[in-house]
């Protein structure tokens, strides 16, 4: 069967938040794009991922007309709670640095972006297969794929944006370069529960039994995590065991605080790793989001890093396509990686400070670090600056 040939300014591989936001920002510059995605539209819209937006991410989404529902339904937090045995401390980011964070899940961000792109008649191909990239070192790269009905396509473009995550074809299309990877010796057991949160803001807890986190998705849905061994089977934990362990690690009864249990609707185990690929571009192919880097979730950086990448990439592609000016495009990888490494370090630091390793010496170092962060304005300010978000140009 002969492939149908299409042309667009920018071919975007991946219909997650990075790809959708990139198409939105490009459209504002008059740059056309086509978005292709190997998953179904329903699958992409239902994915449960990160729930924290940095101030910089919120500002960008608001500036480009995507902040109306976020402002109405999102939950603005002034800071976080840090907890270790017999102590819980609140770090107020607004007092420390004048910035806050927002609880607004990736599912909601995706829904807002899809609605905006549909209104703009964005062209999508979902449930594609056999995706391949061609001629990325030329001025006319292309993507070939088979659509959901089995019809082959060749999509030619002036540039390709690989926003297709760590398992997509884009990263492997940039051979050579350098990669850095760290696999952590623990995992997160994630629990979604139909119960109102028992806290006003996130609780990050160090405990001899292991790390715990109390987060939330809405006023009626809680998201909670327990440190477990990699490869843990979620079915091996009963609901009662989960709530008992959460109560222990989060300090139920401490200073009158109580953890409220409720129906658990989802259980999953998330392995934890850090990964950075450099460069983030080759020829006319540019990587963004998880296609270029992965961070453990402790620092709430994954979605925000993807947004930061796209905030840099959109004007670079706009200049490249509309003005034949490659200066920003040529600098994209180097500029983006400065922020990627800063966020990678912060995520590693938060992770290693809060997760029990089993080494008594390391445990004392962790507690010393936690005491310093919660008693020193300099320590608290450093955490707040990184958690609430650095400027996109860092």
Catalytic residue (choose from 293, 301, 332, 355): 301
Catalytic residue (choose from 17, 141, 296, 297): 297
Structure tokens at 303: 């979605």
Q: Verify whether residue 301 is a known catalytic residue.
A: yes
Catalytic residue (choose from 17, 24, 77, 186): 77
Spell out the residues 6+ positions from residue 51 whose beta carbon is closer than 8 angstroms to its own. 103, 104, 105, 106, 215, 216, 217, 223, 300
Three-state DSSP class for residue 235: helix
Range list of β-strands (E), the chain = 4-13, 33-36, 52-53, 75-77, 79-84, 87-92, 101-103, 123-125, 129-134, 142-146, 152-162, 178-193, 203-205, 212-216, 222-228, 264-278, 281-282, 285-287, 293-294
Contact between residue 307 and residue 21 where contact means Cβ atoms under 8 Å apart = yes
Catalytic residue (choose from 104, 186, 332, 387): 387
Q: Verify whether residue 204 is a known catalytic residue.
A: yes
Angle at which helix 327-354 crosses helix 360-375, to 10 degrees, equals 110
Q: In whole angstroms, give the CA distance from residue 152 to residue 346.
A: 44
Write the DSSP string, 191-203: EEESS--SSSS-E
CA distances from 128 to 113, 124, 394 (A): 20, 10, 36
Three-state DSSP class for residue 394: coil
Q: Verify whether residue 387 is a known catalytic residue.
A: yes
How many residues in total does the chain contain?
Answer: 394
Catalytic residue (choose from 184, 186, 204, 225): 204
- Residues with catalytic roles: 77, 204, 297, 301, 387
């Amino acid at each position: 069967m002969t492939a149908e040939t299409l042309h667009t300014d920018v071919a975007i591989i991946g219909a997650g938040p990075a790809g959708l936001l990139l198409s939105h920002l490009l459209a504002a510059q008059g740059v056309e794009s086509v978005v292709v995605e190997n998953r179904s539209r329903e699958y992409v819209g239902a994915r449960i991922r990160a729930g924290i937006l940095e101030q910089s991410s919120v500002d960008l989404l608001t500036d480009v007309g995507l902040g109306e529902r976020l402002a109405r339904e999102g939950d603005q937090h002034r800071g976080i709670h840090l907890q270790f045995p017999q102590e819980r401390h609140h770090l107020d980011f607004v007092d420390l640095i004048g910035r806050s964070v927002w609880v607004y899940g990736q599912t909601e961000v995706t829904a807002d972006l899809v609605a905006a792109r549909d209104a703009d008649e964005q062209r999508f191909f979902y449930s594609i297969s056999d995706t391949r990239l061609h001629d990325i070192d030329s001025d006319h790269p292309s993507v070939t794929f088979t659509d959901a009905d089995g019809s082959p396509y060749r999509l030619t473009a002036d540039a390709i944006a690989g926003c297709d995550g760590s398992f997509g074809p884009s990263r492997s299309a940039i051979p050579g370069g350098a990669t850095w990877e760290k696999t952590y010796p623990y995992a997160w057991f994630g629990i979604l529960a139909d119960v109102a949160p028992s806290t006003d803001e996130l609780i990050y807890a160090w405990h001899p039994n292991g790390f715990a986190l109390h987060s939330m998705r809405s006023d009626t849905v809680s998201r909670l995590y327990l440190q477990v061994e990699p490869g843990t089977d979620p079915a091996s934990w009963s609901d009662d065991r989960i709530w008992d362990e959460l109560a222990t690690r989060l300090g139920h009864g401490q200073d009158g605080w109580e953890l409220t249990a409720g129906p658990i609707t989802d259980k999953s185990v998330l392995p934890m790793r850090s990964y950075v690929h450099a460069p983030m571009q080759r020829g006319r192919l540019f990587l963004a989001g998880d296609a270029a880097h992965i961070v453990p979730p402790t620092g709430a950086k994954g979605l925000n890093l993807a947004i930061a990448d796209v905030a840099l990439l959109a004007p670079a592609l706009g200049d490249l396509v509309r003005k034949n000016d490659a200066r920003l495009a040529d600098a994209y990888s180097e500029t983006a990686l400065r922020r990627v490494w800063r966020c990678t370090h912060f995520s590693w630091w938060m992770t290693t400070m809060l997760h029990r390793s089993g080494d008594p010496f390391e445990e004392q170092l962790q507690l010393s670090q936690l005491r310093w962060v919660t008693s020193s304005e300099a320590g608290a300010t450093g955490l707040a600056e990184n958690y609430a978000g650095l400027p996109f140009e860092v």
